[in-house]
Amino acid sequence: MNRTLTNMEYDDKIKQMARFAKALGHPTRLLILQYLDNQSCCLTGDLVDILPIAQSTISQHLKELKNAGLIQGEVNPPKVKYCINQENWGIAKKLFVEFFK
């Protein structure tokens, strides 16, 4: 049976890729990921020093990336250390490579 796009159910890969794509859909988030991918980890304050935006705005972008599972944070008050979630980062790369083949 041929399935049309209008009645097709979304599989888990498509849902996961959409979640990643939404998080990647802002230039600031891409810069954050690019920075984190070149570091082992960083503190939120490090990002404030390199990006010309307010701490609160950076925090919102970090929250979106964390909710998508692309980064992980470790709270050690008053600081938060962020790193790439290597497992999900690898999954995201693989999904997008397969999609664009």
pLDDT of residue 15: 92
Q: What is the pLDDT of residues 3-62, one digit of tens each?
A: 555 556 678 899 999 999 999 999 999 999 999 999 888 988 889 899 989 989 999 999
Residue 69 pLDDT greater than 50, yes or no: yes
Confidence (pTM): 0.84
pLDDT of residue 31: 94
Q: CA 18, 22, 27, 32 torsion: positive or negative? A: negative
How many CA atoms are closer than 13 Å to the CA of 17, on its beta-carbon side?
13
> What average pLDDT does the segment 68-78 reach?
89
Q: CA 47, 34, 29, 70 torsion: positive or negative? A: negative
The full set of domains in the chain, from first to last, is 12-99 (1.10.10.10)
Q: Is 69 left (phi over 0), alpha (psi -120 to 50) or beta?
A: left
pLDDT of residue 1: 44
Contact status, residue 77 vs residue 5, Cβ threshold 8 Å: no
